[in-house]
Structure 1
Amino acid sequence: MTPIPVPPAPSAPLSPMPGGQQNLKLLKAAQDLEATFLSEMLKAMKFDTVAGGFGSNQGAEQFGSFLRDAQAEKLVQAGGIGLAEALFNAMMARADA
């Protein structure tokens, strides 16, 4: 078996993109908006009402919303539905114009 050569890692870190901090803020805003959108979609699907899980009182509604919001955040962290990427690209295009 012949070993596959692996190129060495660059010795100096890559320089940050111009406006890197601003880009991170735009990306975070886009991801937050996607998470909010997904949370509302999960709410419409009644995802926060687990049968027998939280009961059917006001506390259940509050904790159900936390569950729904956490699930929406996890969906975005796993790649989401592409909404954050589309929003980020649109904001970047507008910023470049």
Structure 2
Amino acid sequence: MVQAKALEASFLSEMLGYAGVGKTPQEFGGGIGEDQFGSFLRDEQARQMVEKGGIGLAEQLFRAMTKGQSDAN
């Protein structure tokens, strides 16, 4: 389940990036440092979202992976 949660967090981080979360504002921005560390903020926000229940992707991935294992036996 840990790997499924990690994958969901990566997916959410990418989606947050496309949505503009952590993007440096044009006015009064924090400069190059803010740009460089914005991805760390998005990653942590995504991990927190997953820990609070996420969007259910980890659960679906885990079920799909374990179903494939039980079918192989």
Q: TM-score, normalised by structure 2?
A: 0.86
Indicate conservation of the 8 Å contact 2:16/2:42, yes or no.
yes
Structure 1 residues 29 and 54, CA gap change in structure 2 (3 angstroms) = farther
Aligned residues: CA RMSD: 1.6
Alignment gaps of 5+ in structure 2: none
Indicate conservation of the 8 Å contact 2:24/2:34, yes or no.
no
Deviations 1:26-45 (A, max 9, x none): x0010000000000000001
Q: For 2:29 and 2:46, how far apart are their aligned partners in 1?
A: 19
Deviations 1:24-82 (A, max 9, x none): xxx0010000000000000001101253675232x212211111000000000000000
Query: Which amino acid letter does the alignment assign opposite residue 31 of structure 2?
Result: S
Aligned sequence identity (%): 49
Alignment gaps of 5+ in structure 1: 1-26
Q: TM-score, normalised by structure 1?
A: 0.66
Hey, what does 2:9 align to over in structure 1?
A: 35
Indicate conservation of the 8 Å contact 1:54/1:64, yes or no.
no
Structure having the higher Rg: 1
Q: 2:31 aligns with which of 40, 47, 56?
A: 56
More helix per residue = 2
Q: For 2:51 and 2:17, how far apart are their aligned partners in 1?
A: 19
> Which structure 1 residue ranges, 4+ long, deviate > 4 Å from structure 2?
none
Aligned length: 70
Question: Comparing both chains, which one has the higher relative contact order based on Cα–Cα distances under 8 Å and sequence gaps of 6 or more?
Answer: 2
